Amino acid sequence: MPIVNRISALHEEVTAWRRDIHEYPELQFDVHRTAGIVAEKLKEFGCDEIVTGIGRTGVVGIIKGRANGSGKVIGLRADMDALPLTEITGLPHASKVPGKMHACGHDGHTAMLLGAAKYLAETRNFDGTVAVIFQPAEEGEKGGEAMVKDGMMERFGIQEVYGMHNAPGLPVGQFALRPGPLLAAVDNFRIEVEGKGGHAAKPHLSVDTILVASHIVAAAQSIVARNIDPLKCAVVSICAFNAGFTNNVIPQTAELRGTVRTHDASVRDFVEQRLTELAERTAAVFGATARVVYERVVPVTVNHEIQTPFAADAAAAVVGDAAVNRDTTPIMGGEDFAYMLEARPGAFIFIGQGDTANVHHPAYDFNDEIIPLGMSYWAKLVESRMPA
Ligand code: NI
């Protein structure tokens, strides 16, 4: 496996950074400690420019190649935020903050990109400029969009962007990606049902919101089953149903919460419209009202046709062509890197993390064994996309 000696030599040091970040997880935009460490290390490595506070708490480091005849600028992105979970691994480097943990491996993503930045700043064996991008708030608060809206692409002249995420279940030493849609658009919704509360023994004088909301739950399942083209995909999941508080009161209100996942803009529009109609009209049939609050969180993560093969080739240069799945099955999870791929062409890749607990599980931990592979991928991508 062609991992250059210098990168192998960084394995232990980068593992220590990863575990330190793991011990002090931070949520959403509140990644001050992590962003501080990132900025400090980028300075130590001798980056040409370091800018903090992009998209509130994002950090960008600029590394110029030995030559700059190409005029190319490529962005490599990692995410820094953790999740509101309590870790149960019992590991020596487990989270020291109850209720917060790095359950998605963003500690590993940050550490690997820092390691790659150290290598690239030392060697500068490329013709062009690299922007290493560290974003906050990947987990639902649109940190990627915040950095793009803050003018990051224009400010640094970024022409292409690349992202990477660890994948439990994909063996160590393998990568996977595909051109086109790779991860889903993520939408959240809330349905507020209002009926008429009353005495449980006099249901005829009430409009029972629990019954009404139950019909909405059932009706919502007809969207995917009966309205979407079977050769296209969508998920409608209702994940919270809150109503009532005791045995003998019919509640005045009920609230449903859930998420919609799609891979196609027209399907996305259709689901929003259909869910709204079903909720409002079902409620009306029973003499209740339903108000649907629908929020589009993240667009589809679409890998670009030209850049995806470059990313695949860089991975193949590290692990061999047979270990790179260039046509992996898309998934219904979402990724806020989608905002960067809407702004600039590029590609997102999965790196095998082996047989570990799944992401967002309290027993998850990033697999430090894959650090040299991730760093080598970044280095190879830069050196092959902008050869010196
Ligand atoms: Ni993640």
Confidence check: pLDDT of 3 > 90 = no
- Residues 129 and 68 sit within 8 Å (Cβ to Cβ): yes
Cross-strand pairs, 62:
49, 131
Q: How far is the CA of 193 from the centre of ligand 1 (A)?
A: 33
The DSSP secondary structure of 116-182, one letter per residue, reads: HHHHHHHH--BBSEEEEEEES--SSS-HHHHHHHTTHHHHHT--EEEEEEEEETSPTT-EE--SEEE
Please list the alpha-helical segments (H only) found in the chain.
Answer: 5-9, 11-23, 32-45, 106-123, 143-149, 152-156, 209-222, 265-285, 307-319, 338-343, 371-385
Report the chain's mean pLDDT, rounded to a whole number. 97
CA distances from 81 to 73, 100, 137 (A): 25, 10, 6
* CA–CA separation, 68 and 293 (whole Å): 50
pLDDT digits (tens, 9 = 90+) for 321-338: 999 999 999 999 999 999
CA distances from 126 to 48, 77, 232 (A): 15, 18, 42
Q: 152 Cβ partners below 8 Å, 6+ apart?
A: 54, 55, 58, 60, 133, 158
pLDDT digits (tens, 9 = 90+) for 49-67: 999 999 999 999 999 999 9
Q: How far is the CA of 127 from the centre of ligand 1 (A)?
A: 31
3-7, 121-125, 201-205, 230-234, range with the lowest pLDDT: 3-7
Q: How far is the CA of 25 from the centre of ligand 1 (A)?
A: 13
* CA–CA separation, 215 and 55 (whole Å): 42
Helix-strand-coil split of the chain, %, nearest 5? 35, 30, 35
Q: How far is the CA of 81 from the centre of ligand 1 (A)?
A: 9
Q: How far is the CA of 227 from the centre of ligand 1 (A)?
A: 31
* CA–CA separation, 348 and 341 (whole Å): 9
Question: What is the per-residue pLDDT for 4?
Answer: 81
Q: How far is the CA of 107 from the centre of ligand 1 (A)?
A: 10
Tokens of 288: 């209740």
Identity of the residue numbered 212: V
Q: What integer is the mean pLDDT of 27-47?
A: 98
pLDDT digits (tens, 9 = 90+) for 159-199: 999 999 999 999 999 999 999 999 999 999 999 999 999 99
Q: How far is the CA of 336 from the centre of ligand 1 (A)?
A: 9
pTM: 0.92
Match 């089953």 to its residue by tokens.
225
Confidence check: pLDDT of 302 > 90 = yes
Q: How far is the CA of 377 from the centre of ligand 1 (A)?
A: 18
* CA–CA separation, 50 and 12 (whole Å): 25
CA proximity to 297, closest of 214, 177, 189: 189
CA proximity to 2, closest of 356, 309, 332, 319: 319
Q: Which domains does the chain have, with CATH numbers?
A: 5-183+300-385 (3.40.630.10), 185-298 (3.30.70.360)
- Residues 186 and 297 sit within 8 Å (Cβ to Cβ): yes
Q: How far is the CA of 169 from the centre of ligand 1 (A)?
A: 15
CA proximity to 77, closest of 175, 147, 178: 147
Backbone angles phi, psi at 36, to 5 degrees: -65, -45
- Residues 77 and 55 sit within 8 Å (Cβ to Cβ): no
Q: How far is the CA of 165 from the centre of ligand 1 (A)?
A: 7
Cα distance between the two ends of the chain: 22
Confidence check: pLDDT of 2 > 90 = no
Q: How far is the CA of 200 from the centre of ligand 1 (A)?
A: 45
Question: What is the per-residue pLDDT for 292?
Answer: 98
Confidence check: pLDDT of 123 > 70 = yes
Question: What is the per-residue pLDDT for 1?
Answer: 46
Q: What integer is the mean pLDDT of 75-91?
A: 97
pLDDT digits (tens, 9 = 90+) for 232-260: 999 999 999 999 999 999 999 999 999 99
CA proximity to 287, closest of 211, 189, 222: 211
Identity of the residue numbered 156: F
Q: How far is the CA of 105 from the centre of ligand 1 (A)?
A: 6
Percent above pLDDT 70 for the chain: 99
Q: How far is the CA of 334 from the centre of ligand 1 (A)?
A: 9
Q: How far is the CA of 109 from the centre of ligand 1 (A)?
A: 9
Q: How far is the CA of 270 from the centre of ligand 1 (A)?
A: 27
Predicted confidence band at 303 (pLDDT cuts at 50, 70, 90)? very high
CA proximity to 79, closest of 102, 53, 98, 95: 102
Q: How far is the CA of 238 from the centre of ligand 1 (A)?
A: 22
